[in-house]
Amino acid sequence: MSDQIQTARDAGVLSILIDRPDKKNALTGDMYDALIAAFDEADADPSIGAVLVSGAGGCFTAGNDIGDFLASASASMADFLALRFIRRLAILDTPIVAAVEGVAVGVGTTMILHCDLVYAGPNALFRMPFVDLGLVPEAGSSLLIPQQVGLQKASELLLLGEAFDAAEAHRLGIINSVVPNADLLAFATDRARRLAAKPRNALAATRRLLRGDRDVLLERIDAEAQLFAKALRSDEAKSAFMAFMARSKK
C-alpha cells in the first residue's frame, strides 16, 4: 500500500484519503494500486457499508502524475494501473461517497461519475482536458457525461475542456450539493455513515437498478482505453505533454 493513500475505518465506513498535497494529490501507479486494494478490502469485508474518498491539503486530485504516467505509457492496457483502477471503481459493489475540495482534474473529475453521492466545497474546480493533451476521454466519461448532462453540454465539457466550478457542477447534476469547506468532510462522512447503516441487500439492489447494465459501461471504458493508448503514442500527444510540462516548470 502507498503511504500516499491513507485508509481508516469507523461506523461501517472505509475512508480513503488521497494524501500527496505537495503535488496536488496527483496520482501515481503505486497510488492507483493502493486505491484498488482499498476497494477490494471494502467489497470483501461485510462490516464495511460505504466508502468515502477525499483529498488532503484542500485539494481532491490533479489527476495523473504526468511524469509517472508517461513512464508507464509503454505498458500494455492490461497492466496499466490507471485503467485497472477505473475498471475496479466501475464494478465496486460498496456504495461510494466523494468529498471534493479544490482541483479535480482529469480522472479527478471522471472518477466522481462512478460515485453514488458527491459533495463539493465552493472552491472545487473540475476539468477534463483530455483533448487538449492530444488524448480522448476515459473512465467511461464519453458515455456517462452525455447521459447526465445531455449531448450539447457534454460536447462543451469534453471537446473544449474548460474548467467548471462547484455551482455549475451542481446545476448540471454532476454533484449532489455544494457544502462549505469547513463542513464538507463531516457532511460527506455523515452521508456515508447513513448509507452504511441501511439494509445492505436493499441498498445493493437499488444501486444495481440505478446504474443499469455494467457490461455496457465496461465496454465503453475498454473502447476508450484502446483509443487512449493509441493517442498517447502519437506525436500530437507528445507535443501537448511537452508543452504542458514546460508550462508547469515556469
Q: Higher confidence at residue 111 or residue 241?
A: 111
Q: What H or E segment, with its residue span, contains residue 170? A: helix 166-172
Average pLDDT, integer, range 161-182: 97
Domain tally, the chain:
1
**For 22-51, what is each residue's pLDDT tens digit?**
999 999 999 999 999 999 999 999 999 999
72, pLDDT greater than 80: no
The pLDDT value given to residue 45? 96
Asked, for residue 160, whether it belongs to a domain, the answer is yes
- Tell me the residue range of the domain where 54 lies: 5-184
CA dihedral 232, 233, 237, 238 (to 10 degrees): 130
The pLDDT value given to residue 233? 81
The pLDDT value given to residue 203? 94
Average pLDDT, integer, range 145-149: 96
Asked, for residue 178, whether it belongs to a domain, the answer is yes
174 neighbors 88 (Cβ within 8 angstroms): no
CA distance 3 to 199: 33
Confidence of residue 198 (pLDDT cuts 50, 70, 90): very high
Asked, for residue 52, whether it belongs to a domain, the answer is yes
Confidence of residue 180 (pLDDT cuts 50, 70, 90): very high
Confidence of residue 1 (pLDDT cuts 50, 70, 90): low
Whichever domain contains 59, its CATH number is 3.90.226.10
Asked, for residue 163, whether it belongs to a domain, the answer is yes
Asked, for residue 151, whether it belongs to a domain, the answer is yes
68, pLDDT greater than 80: no
What stretches of the chain adopt beta strand conformation (E)? 5-10, 13-18, 50-55, 96-100, 103-105, 117-120, 125-127, 164-165, 177-178
Sign of the C-alpha dihedral computed for residues 74, 75, 77 and 83 taken in this order: negative
Confidence of residue 113 (pLDDT cuts 50, 70, 90): very high
Average pLDDT, integer, range 152-163: 96
Q: Higher confidence at residue 146 or residue 133?
A: 146
**For 117-136, what is each residue's pLDDT tens digit?**
999 999 999 999 999 989 99
Asked, for residue 245, whether it belongs to a domain, the answer is no
Q: Which of 51-55, 59-63, 73-77, 99-103 has the lowest mean pLDDT?
A: 73-77
C-alpha angle 219-221-225 in degrees, rounded to nearest 5? 115
**For 202-240, what is each residue's pLDDT tens digit?**
999 999 999 999 999 999 999 999 998 888 888 887 787
CA distance 72 to 49: 34
116, pLDDT greater than 60: yes
Asked, for residue 161, whether it belongs to a domain, the answer is yes
The pLDDT value given to residue 123? 97
Q: What is the pTM of this model?
A: 0.93
Asked, for residue 165, whether it belongs to a domain, the answer is yes
